[in-house]
Amino acid sequence: MSLHKSLKRKDALARRRNVLSRGERIERLKDEERWDEEGASVFGLPKVKPRIVEAPSRAKAEEPEGPEGEEAERVVEAEADEAEE
């Protein structure tokens, strides 16, 4: 049975989830260095808070000011060279 188009949400996948999958929890624990590969069980994992992600801005993106194309690449490279010195 399908869902009527008026009942579907446009932002269904964009909203914040309250629960992480087991794989996501293990990945987060590895990032925090709280996961031990040896002897660790995938059952009874410690609680992990989901990351707070800012919602994407709905405002239209402004056009960047300044040089475009190849000129922009040269300017960025020159700025990088100056920063290294």
Residue 83 lies in a domain: no
Label residue 85 by pLDDT band (50, 70, 90): low
Residue 46 lies in a domain: yes
12-49 tens-digit pLDDT? 666 677 888 899 999 999 999 988 888 888 888 888 88
Looking at the predicted structure, is the pLDDT value of residue 55 above 60?
A: yes
The tally of domains found in the chain comes to 1
CB neighbour class for 29 (10 Å; exposed up to 12, middle 13-18, buried from 19): middle
Residue 37 lies in a domain: yes
What pLDDT score does 44 carry? 87
Residue 64 lies in a domain: no
**Domain that includes residue 35, residue range:** 17-54
66-84 tens-digit pLDDT? 556 667 777 777 777 776 6
Residue 5 lies in a domain: no
**pTM reported for the whole predicted model:** 0.45
Residue 2 lies in a domain: no
Cβ atoms 49, 34 nearer than 8 A: no
Radius of gyration from C-alpha coordinates of the chain: 23
